[in-house]
Amino acid sequence: MAYTIAFFGSKPYDEASFNEKNSEYGFELRFYKGHLNLNNVILTQGVDAVCIFVNDTADAEVIRQMAENGVKLLALRCAGYNNVDLKAAAENGITVVRVPAYSPYAVAEYTVALMLSLNRKIPRATWRTRDGNFSLHGLLGFDMYGKTAGIIGTGKIAKKLIAILRGAILLIGSGLQYQSPHLVVSDI
């Protein structure tokens, strides 16, 4: 009998990557687009493990019903677990596992990409060019040089972000160096 895993809140890329990896193991995988909640927890009947993401609900009642359905493992495809009642899971014999951490480099670099995308209005420009509108009206951004970036918290991700923002102004190979933008950091 194959081990059965139910995935909630799954996207096509989840299905593709888990199916590819599962070719080595042969588990029975069930994918559900909807988020796990009290209304669809019945889908966990006969399932050994449930895999959820950030918008799924695993509160005490959902946990209790999953345990009644035979679920022994709750796996999170995220680092956060604020959507899971850990006490209820322990009381009902369900082991909870999660992603230990994300790459702080990847998150910090994505943050910079979002900053640049917004200050240069790239999303709006993209839509306009798709429509054949190449006007610059309303698309003028601003220079980030000389601006102050406020960062709350100094965890792993924030430290990488600070390093990127400090280094973003240096012109390598040109012999010119500019001062880094102002950084306001608060470790709250």
Determine how β-strand 73-76 pairs with β-strand 49-52: parallel
pLDDT tens-digit map of 54-71: 999 999 999 999 999 999
User: Do 112 and 91 meet the contact criterion of CB atoms below 8 Å apart?
Assistant: no
Cα 78 to the chain's mean position, in Å?
7
CA 52 to CA 26: how far, in whole Å? Answer: 20
CA 137 to CA 117: how far, in whole Å? Answer: 17
pTM: 0.69
Q: Which helix (H) or strand (E) is 4 found in, with range?
A: strand 4-8
Alpha carbon separation from 13 to 18, 140, 150 (Å, rounded): 8, 35, 34
pLDDT tens-digit map of 155-185: 888 889 888 888 764 433 334 444 444 555 5
